[in-house]
Structure 1
Amino acid sequence: MNAFRAACVQMRSGKNPSENSLQASALIKQAAADGATYIQTPEMTNLLVGSKAELLDRISAEWQDVSLKAFKRLADELSIWLHIGSLAVLREDGKIVNRAFVISPEGSVAVRYDKIHMFDVDLPGGESWRESATYQPGNSAVCCDLPWIRFGVAICYDIRFPTLFRAQAKAGAFMLTAPAAFTQQTGQAHWHVLQRARAIENTSFVVSAAQGGLHEDGRETYGHSIIVSPWGDVLAELDNNEPGYMTAMIDPESSTRARQRIPSLQNDKEFEISGDFRAAETRA
């Protein structure tokens, strides 16, 4: 397996899909000019809109989506693997999904993934999110084969569910991904440790492009797009919340060496939990 250059594009998506597409495309072109052959954008590349009614007014079915059409042309033009972290699109039944796309250098969609885990939380300070009120969750994990590596596709909040990434690593993924729109609050607390933890426990690269800054709809995201090695080292990071990009070399052999040193995937065992749960419930 040969090494390749990966890039993360960091954005501050607003409410206008055409403007967001132009912002992403300009940064993708810059990353490609710097030698990146796999380029990833963040979650909600096409728009960030808090209102479901407003979102429905601005999105379309996948086959009609202007952003996806532009990105397919761009992947073909630049001859790159373009991983769109996610777009909000309408499913065939009219429900909204948070969908990732991996586009080949020929401009065709190689893999789709609908975000499985919905961000339904109440944070300190009154910040509250209910993704399940807007989006229909997916139910299938996905891997994608590039010429150099197999990688797992995930989105944002998925990073908090290690079994998803473990399953991808056991399925042969040497690279894991979690393009995101992490809130400022949760990003400050957990972004780096979650990225490094998923890398270390699966002896895999982790590549996560992010949204950053104060968005048009009023939300604030953390930024800090990051690429982590299978040993848990940060290979590259945009240490801010501004739009931009960064790159790092991905050598699949690094993952092979890490798995030889710490064979946790091989040592993993199935197990059952036992105990007197009824007695514990009575004591509580």
Structure 2
Amino acid sequence: MTSTRFTAACVQMRSGRDVLKNRDDAVALVREAASQGAHFAQTPEMTSLVCRDRAELFDKVGPEAQDPVLAALREVAREKGVVVQIGSIAVKEGDKVANRAFLIGQDGDIIASYDKIHLYDVDLPNGESWRESATYTGGASAVAAETPWGYLGMTICYDVRFAALYKALAENGASFLSAPAAFTKQTGEAHWHVLHRARAIETGSFMISAAQGGLHEDGRETFGHSVIIDPWGRVLAEGGTEPGVFLAEIDTALVADVRGRIPTLKNARPFKVEVVPFIETDRAASA
């Protein structure tokens, strides 16, 4: 029988370039979350390694079966009897890397994995360019995975800007949505809260997103502010920029309550877009 209440924890980190140190930090924080009563603990995107240099990244990551962070957090889940969501780790896939999330059950078994679908490829006005697709391979499938409290929709970071993904997950049974991230400070200050509250409100779902925060070894600065948001858009827990554990009690009955009051998922209708061009009239001919 599915329980209606549980305690969720966002594990905020400041991962660096040492995979084993990052592993130890993640293990310590998940254990701390469990000691504070968490039944579910989520780490941020790139828990295992935050590193800009492509050659260094490839040198330090390996296949999923050999990843030390995945192995250690599976053991912690088993030891503490908690469900652990690894926001993501870098996993070698041929000549590229997958940005892969994992959901681990209380027995330490892997319930599901998800590869980040949307990759950040952009040329900014200041001349700065980002090409995630040059290093990472994008996923092709959305994932809603069953937990003891309902279904969890698994997404990662940049995915949060694509509302259709969250609508699809909610329509397929997800009551909890997640976008663990390594948002930059600049974009986080502008968009982090509004995007998370919007995804929660649009779908009548909880949003649970752990984040990287602060100045990292590779020079990047991430926004932090791990958040847990309820289906009404209220912030239940939030971090700052320092590593730590941020907890909130989740009442799953609120999902049905909010979706009953504002049934956007039920009321959505198919539609087509009609594009009407502007036609300039010949004023001289009509005079």
AA aligned to 1:82 is V
Runs of 4+ with >4 A deviation: 123-127, 277-280
Paired residue for 2:187?
186
Paired residue for 1:225?
226
Deviation at 1:125, TM superposition (A): 4.8
RMSD of aligned residue pairs (Cα, Å)? 1.4
- Provide TM-score, normalisation by structure 2: 0.94
Are 1:261 and 2:266 counterparts? Answer: no
Q: 1:16 aligns with which of 18, 24, 27?
A: 18
The 1:275/1:100 distance shift into structure 2, 3 A limit, reads same
Residues 193-272 of structure 1 aligned to structure 2 (within 5 Å): 193-238=194-239, 240-272=240-272
C-alpha separation in 1, matches of 2:125 and 2:82: 42
- Provide TM-score, normalisation by structure 1: 0.95
Bigger Cα Rg: 2
AA aligned to 2:273 is I
Are 1:69 and 2:68 counterparts? Answer: no
Tell me the alpha carbon deviations over residues 229-276 of structure 1, each in whole angstroms, 9 at most, x when there is no partner.
Answer: 0000000101x2111011001111001100111011000011111123
C-alpha separation in 2, matches of 1:96 and 1:29: 28
Deviation at 1:277, TM superposition (A): 4.8
Are 1:88 and 2:90 counterparts? Answer: yes
Number of paired residues?
Answer: 278
| Secondary structure, counterpart of 2:7 in structure 1 | strand
Paired residue for 1:139?
140
AA aligned to 2:53 is S
AA aligned to 2:134 is A
C-alpha separation in 2, matches of 1:155 and 1:111: 14
Stretches of structure 1 that go unaligned for 5 or more consecutive residues are none
C-alpha separation in 2, matches of 1:140 and 1:63: 21
Stretches of structure 2 that go unaligned for 5 or more consecutive residues are 281-287
AA aligned to 1:272 is K
The share of aligned pairs that are identical, in percent, is 53
C-alpha separation in 2, matches of 1:71 and 1:255: 29
The 1:109/1:94 distance shift into structure 2, 3 A limit, reads farther
Paired residue for 1:97?
98
